[in-house]
Structure 1
């Protein structure tokens, strides 16, 4: 495998808004040539749409093409049913099919019908050729699993991986976070030592995590301020998701890293559901404490209850799917008291911190409800997702060994309201596929010190008495306390998008528009650094806030107003792309994108995309791509 990736070029920009919120865009020029050999995870992805396409050629036993054959596909997902006819070259195409299980039947007068059952995954153009036998007998039924379809996408230069429903349901995930399955994707690194949402959490091919973009059913789901995915989803809600790592088409914007495209489950004509209970208990753990004097495993009680149900409201017309999850956790955080080399100071610190050493507690609720309607040639979707998370006595992984007085309390709510309409215009065999989507997200959150009575981040200069004659104390100094003041954010997002696609001969053309309105208000945390000068007796008597005298250094705005965040941001994106099939095994992916963000004066943000996919053999595809990608303002 040969890959050439120039260094990203980043333009850092400050904009004069209240709170002086830092923004940046990152333009990444990508140039690579990739030779992909047959491999179970080498699936390439193609489109931002949440549907897929089945196409192929119908021939007889001698290899001659069959024109006018009827091709019918019906699926359990949303009770989908579509039909078309093969053209003069025996070619057929059925597009805008939701991921799921389908029965494909091909029939023609004088030939035995052929029926195949196909498991169709997200965002694929599946080439499925059918050979008919002469005669009037009923042909055999053939089961075709997704892993039996061609694993390599021969028509797209993008690279990535689809995490299938089977993997989501069967692979063990600690904490029931489906995004942990990103570690199955080549080029994605899950950094367990970094805080979730930080730029070091999930780098992709060297790109920092903040440059990744997240979509849920085609709707934006990225936390613009903090990075990472915004709303969390019950794992039972996720049908499958796809990760594009590089070389994606012009329809994908606001990302120079990976694009994580997630679809949720939908109901069908039969009821289906699942109930589950996951429990973790320290009774099954052994001690791995940092403190060698602790022989028992730290306290851990985690309960995760989940319920999901889907089915018909009106058979063949209206369907629903809903899920609910409740998570509670009580966990004793592990840490090690630092040793100062002085027994008196060590005991002083233990007495100070022991009262703050309470178990960390998590309370989280996740609710999801989705309706789908099949109205003529329209596939309508409405969904609501609500999560509420409260955390007490918490420290992120990067500070997990810190003293109890540094811990935080936090809370966050996420509300997502979304709708979509995918409809067909024109003939069944080659229609216009038009997709309209819109969403609203409301995401208030706050964070504050768990123990304000411990004071700010403090360096304690310890004196044995008032007559030591020293300025910084005659005993070893110690650090404790939380450096941050309370903060809060109220994020609101409104998004709209529209796209249209159609096949013109050897050209698969698509164009569209994206809009995102961002409104953020809040207060950023100040950093407080304190130096306390006190005797041991005064500290024991009056506590860390009232003992002795202290100096405080404040890092942040000079006035309360300077710590406020008020962000009003409008983003627009336009794109056009063409997948040009030069030969049966050679496809050229052309595209251009224009992005404009109201926080920046520059309007000439044109991003060309060029890719080529050459199917050398059935098991070898060579891909090359060049592109310019503009990251999202943060």
Structure 2
């Protein structure tokens, strides 16, 4: 026993000596972790990594921010520190045998980073509220818009003209797939009530981060305006601070100055944009001359977006916009007066002085959030005020038209919108929502007219005044529910129901089924198809219950029925395929057919350039679209070609706007709608060479309709725009980087006529632009 005790003691002694010898060959790394103000950071995780990135030791800091990692083999190591609420930090330490290596690391607060991450998470949740399954979709990125010849100075309607199936018309109107207007504008998923139609654009292209145009058979979420959904995702200040100043000008005494600024401060971010401009080509010229008469315009707009991240899963935001435009109505020289005023029947038509002003304002307060998993929601309150004032030439209009009408129209809308998404499981995503809107329209017109006999002949050269005022409050309600069902990894079906009700000049409602599918036939081939039942109320701000009987016996008298304008009801079918031919080239083909009852159309029937809705009892619209997109390295190009037919039969509302011959003909014949265009095409592309980008775009149309009951059409037209963008970079810090742009509109000076003043609801001729030169400078900061 005694010998065994001595042996054990000796073994322990040898083990202790060996341990001390081993420890003498190791080192330790110690240090202190603080924030940017020097305050210690406790419970920070410290990891020691070797040259290969492998962790060889780890610990946490104590209450004083200190740490120690022992038994570190000699060598050079990375000390990596992470802590909640801070960006990660690191330092280099060298371990030596029997020595301590000390480091000090200051961590930066990661509030801004956290806010950016939270904002992006909320953006993804918001975008997921808007499904696209079964629809035809055309996307414009911010880069796509910048590369257009006019860049961000391109009007929004001109941007949309580069999408398939979009036809151009006078006064800035667009026709998508054979519809008159019927576009719904959404900003970050929020429906922006439409303004009273006019000449100016209500939204500035500069605010766009991404623009999507959805057409075809839309999911149940989209209603009321269904020819196309213009989905705008705005710029924000979530990812940093900066701004830009842009000056753009050229032909027709054009000058436009625009500025925007964006940034963030902790959980608060903002984006503001504004512009002011004027030119002498505010409205399309009614003659083929290069310089229109009396066509000056002043235009200004502003937009703001502010958001505050309440917590990682909730955000509140406020957006607002205002647009104020004033237009002179261009003149046609050489016209002969048709009436006599105070014994005078002479007036130089080039000296007419008609004007129109437009104001549109909107604001939206939005609460948006997610639970980080299954549920997303967005609740918004929206208000909009819009007004249009037409000022006649009190003498000239009486002499030429027999009517001088001062027209003031205003409309106020207030609405609430709720959209939700619930991910039931991996295969089913349920979306549901409600929408309600109250709208109040005011029509305050005052007409100066001449008395006439039963044959319509002027009986006095002294005008009389007839007031024509009315107002109306209307309501829209809707609710929808839909399920996005992923049957397989290749096939997704979105099916749902939508209920719409209107209580305006007429009361009506409809329950509308929707179904759409997307099938990935091969890795490079995708097929989509859909059916939608649509319910489209007439534009409330344009419908009036004016008593036409009060104008009997005057030059403003009309005859015929004045049945109320009804909502359009339609069945819509869409089928398309997209094929990626090469990694650089994608093509698509899409076919659609719409069958309508009470098909809605609009026309300009009075002297004021404000549109009036009416119905065809029967309607049919069908077409085929081809699109191609190419992008490789420094070259990009696109081309869209669309064939369309839009027809109606038997006008069954607002009949007094039409002559008896036209009414009789249309009652028994399918006629083309005035905006029908057989072939519409758009194309464009860019080529970058160093710091220079060459760009072009263009449109081609087979001509809109004209003549008695739209039985004729105008000639084929083409417009090509050329541009060059130069990126400058000076070493001088006061100048730095900026972009210069040169633009040639209608480069081949192909003068064309959009309208000739004939056709259903067409009030005057309009010509496209002559060749024009513009230049711009953009400085970012």
TM-score class, shorter: 0.5 to 0.7
Q: Hey, what's the Cα distance between the residues in 1 that align with 2:227 and 2:379?
A: 25
SS of match in other structure, 1:250: coil
Q: Which residue does the alignment assign to 1:493?
A: 413
Query: Residues 441 and 482 of structure 1: is their aligned pair in 2 closer, same or farther, counting only changes over 3 Å?
Result: farther
Map 1:210-609 to 2 at 5 A: 211-223=182-194, 225-226=196-197, 232-281=202-251, 300-312=252-264, 314-315=265-266, 317-331=267-281, 359-376=294-311, 377-394=313-330, 403-425=349-371, 428=372, 430-449=373-392, 451-458=393-400, 483-505=403-425, 506-524=427-445, 526=447, 560=467, 563-599=468-504, 604-609=509-514
Residue by residue, what CA displacement relative to the aligned partner does 1:558-584 show, whole Å, maximum 9, x if unpaired? 962xx2231201111000010111111
Q: Hey, what's the Cα distance between the residues in 1 that align with 2:231 and 2:513?
A: 22
Post-superposition offset of 1:224 = 5.9
Query: Residues 604 and 444 of structure 1: is their aligned pair in 2 closer, same or farther, counting only changes over 3 Å?
Result: closer
Say which structure, 1 or 2, has more relative contact order (CA 8 Å, 6+ apart): 1
Residue by residue, what CA displacement relative to the aligned partner does 1:239-266 show, whole Å, maximum 9, x if unpaired? 2221111111101011231111122211
Residue by residue, what CA displacement relative to the aligned partner does 1:172-199 show, whole Å, maximum 9, x if unpaired? 24963123111222122223xx233xxx
SS of match in other structure, 2:175: coil
Q: Hey, what's the Cα distance between the residues in 2 that align with 1:433 and 1:485?
A: 51
Post-superposition offset of 1:216 = 2.5
Query: Residues 308 and 250 of structure 1: is their aligned pair in 2 closer, same or farther, counting only changes over 3 Å?
Result: same
Query: Residues 269 and 385 of structure 1: is their aligned pair in 2 closer, same or farther, counting only changes over 3 Å?
Result: same
Post-superposition offset of 1:234 = 2.9
Alignment match of 1:206 (pick from 154, 157, 178): 178
Q: Hey, what's the Cα distance between the residues in 2 that align with 1:77 and 1:98?
A: 17
SS of match in other structure, 1:485: strand
**Contact persistence 1:255–1:629 (CA under 8 A):** no
**Contact persistence 1:78–1:267 (CA under 8 A):** no
Query: Residues 530 and 173 of structure 1: is their aligned pair in 2 closer, same or farther, counting only changes over 3 Å?
Result: farther
Post-superposition offset of 1:361 = 2.0
SS of match in other structure, 2:250: strand
Q: Which residue does the alignment assign to 1:171?
A: 148
SS of match in other structure, 1:97: helix
Post-superposition offset of 1:167 = 1.5
Post-superposition offset of 1:238 = 2.0
Residue by residue, what CA displacement relative to the aligned partner does 1:40-94 show, whole Å, maximum 9, x if unpaired? xxxxxxxxxxxxxxxxxxxxxxxxxxxxxxxxxx9999943269xxxxxxxxxx9
SS of match in other structure, 1:249: coil
**Contact persistence 1:249–1:591 (CA under 8 A):** yes
**Contact persistence 1:280–1:302 (CA under 8 A):** yes
**Contact persistence 1:576–1:593 (CA under 8 A):** yes
SS of match in other structure, 1:456: helix
**Contact persistence 1:77–1:267 (CA under 8 A):** no
Map 1:180-199 to 2 at 5 A: 180-191=158-169, 194-196=170-172
Q: Hey, what's the Cα distance between the residues in 2 that align with 1:631 and 1:621?
A: 30
Q: Hey, what's the Cα distance between the residues in 1 that align with 2:304 and 2:226?
A: 32
Q: Hey, what's the Cα distance between the residues in 2 that align with 1:244 and 1:587?
A: 18
Q: Which residue does the alignment assign to 2:522?
A: 617
Q: Hey, what's the Cα distance between the residues in 1 that align with 2:402 and 2:146?
A: 40
Q: Hey, what's the Cα distance between the residues in 1 that align with 2:506 and 2:329?
A: 43
Query: Residues 568 and 378 of structure 1: is their aligned pair in 2 closer, same or farther, counting only changes over 3 Å?
Result: same
Map 1:10-29 to 2 at 5 A: none
- Normalising by structure 1, we get a TM-score of 0.57
Structure 1: runs of 5+ lacking an equivalent: 1-73, 84-93, 100-121, 127-152, 282-299, 339-356, 459-480, 532-547
Q: Hey, what's the Cα distance between the residues in 1 that align with 2:450 and 2:434?
A: 48
Q: Hey, what's the Cα distance between the residues in 2 that align with 1:326 and 1:260?
A: 24
Post-superposition offset of 1:171 = 0.8
- CA root-mean-square deviation: 3.8
**Contact persistence 1:77–1:266 (CA under 8 A):** no
**Contact persistence 1:231–1:414 (CA under 8 A):** no
Map 1:51-70 to 2 at 5 A: none
**Contact persistence 1:457–1:529 (CA under 8 A):** no
Q: Hey, what's the Cα distance between the residues in 2 that align with 1:374 and 1:77?
A: 13
Q: Hey, what's the Cα distance between the residues in 1 that align with 2:216 and 2:139?
A: 14
- After superposing on structure 2, the runs of 4+ consecutive aligned residues of structure 1 that deviate more than 4 Å are 74-79, 122-126, 331-338, 481-484, 524-531, 548-554, 600-604
**Contact persistence 2:129–2:420 (CA under 8 A):** no
Residue by residue, what CA displacement relative to the aligned partner does 1:478-499 show, whole Å, maximum 9, x if unpaired? xxx6854110012111111112
Query: Residues 455 and 188 of structure 1: is their aligned pair in 2 closer, same or farther, counting only changes over 3 Å?
Result: closer
Query: Residues 257 and 553 of structure 1: is their aligned pair in 2 closer, same or farther, counting only changes over 3 Å?
Result: farther
SS of match in other structure, 1:166: helix
Q: Hey, what's the Cα distance between the residues in 2 that align with 1:484 and 1:232?
A: 28
Post-superposition offset of 1:318 = 0.4
Higher deviation after alignment, 376-385 or 521-530: 521-530
Q: Which residue does the alignment assign to 2:746?
A: none
Residue by residue, what CA displacement relative to the aligned partner does 1:575-596 show, whole Å, maximum 9, x if unpaired? 0010111111111110100001
Q: Hey, what's the Cα distance between the residues in 1 that align with 2:448 and 2:216?
A: 38
Residue by residue, what CA displacement relative to the aligned partner does 1:118-169 show, whole Å, maximum 9, x if unpaired? xxxx95799xxxxxxxxxxxxxxxxxxxxxxxxxx9x821112111111122
**Contact persistence 2:436–2:477 (CA under 8 A):** yes
Query: Residues 95 and 158 of structure 1: is their aligned pair in 2 closer, same or farther, counting only changes over 3 Å?
Result: farther
